[in-house]
Amino acid sequence: MTWSEIKVHTTNEAIEAVSHIFQEAGASGVVIVDPHDLYKDHVTLYGTIYELDASNYPTDGVYVKSYLPTDDSLTEKVSFIKQAISDLPRFDIPIGRNEVTLSEVHEEDWSTAWKKYYKPVKVSERITIKPTWEEYQPSSDELIIELDPGMAFGTGTHPTTILSLQALERYLNSKDLVLDVGSGSGILSIAAAKLGASHVYAYDLDEVAVTSTQNNSTLNETDERITVQKNDLLKDVEQEPDVIVSNILAEIIIQLTEDAFHLLKPNGLLITSGIIQRKKQEVLEDLTNKGFQIVETKDLEDWVSIVAQKPDGAKKDRE
C-alpha cells in the first residue's frame, strides 16, 4: 500500500487544532517538526543522542505531518483539511504560512520512519511513555504507558500532554474518580488509572478518539478502570468526580468550566492544558469568574497548564 504524506507549514499555536483536523480526516497519527527541537538537550531529555538534520526543519513556524492512504477518497480528504485549517483564524488561531504539500510514501518507509524517532521518554518523576516495540526496563516505582503511533494521535510528548501528566501525578489521590474530557489517544485516562484512580470516564466527541482511547486502554491493561464514551464535553454527565482533566484548546476549555464547577465534588480539581501563552489570562479570568480558586499554573515552552479547585463550601448541584 502507498500512503500520502500531508505536510502543513503552520504556527506552534495551531498544532493542536491542525492535529485534530487530521484526526477528523481519518489520520491515526501526527508528526510535529519543530525547529526548537534542534536546540534541546536531547541527552538529558531522552537519554539518547539524536542526529537531527536542520535541513528537514522549517526556519519559522512548524510542520505538522500526517499520513492517509492514497486512494479515491484522498482528494476529498485533502480538500477538507485545507478548508478546515483556513477556517481556524475565525477561532483566533493563527495559521502562519498555511502551506499544504503532499508526497507519496511507501508503507514500509512510513513504518520505519515512526520507529526510528519514537523512543521511551520519561515525562515526569514516575511516568515513562514507551513505544510498543522498544525494550525498556523500568525502575521499581516507574509507571509505563505503552503507545503505538499507528493507534494514537501522536507520541504523547507534546508539551500540553506532559504538563497534564505532571499535574495528574502531583494532584491525583488514590481512589479519586476522574473525568477525562477530550480524551484523544487516552493517555491521560491511562495515566490516571495507573496512578490509582478508582475509575476514569473518558469522553470525546470524535469517533476516532473514542476508538483510540479504547485500543490504548486495552494495550495498557486498564480496561477495567476506564469507561470510554462518545460525548460532547460534559453535556448530560452525571458523575461527581474528584478530578476533571482536559487537554484541549483554551476556547473549548472555557465552554466546559461552568459544567465542571457544578459536577466536581467540593475541593475537587480541574486540570486544564492545551492553553497557549496569550490565552492564559483569558482562561484564568474565566475560571475565577465561574467560582474556581487557582491552585497552580505551569509553563512549558509556549504552553500553559492551570490547576483550579472548587471551594469546599460550594454547592454540588447545578443551579
Residues making up the annotated binding site for S-adenosyl-L-methionine are 161, 182, 204, 247
Cell 520519561: give the residue: 122
Angstrom distance (rounded) from CA 149 to CA 161 = 15
Q: Which residues are annotated as part of the binding site?
A: 161, 182, 204, 247
Angstrom distance (rounded) from CA 104 to CA 156 = 26
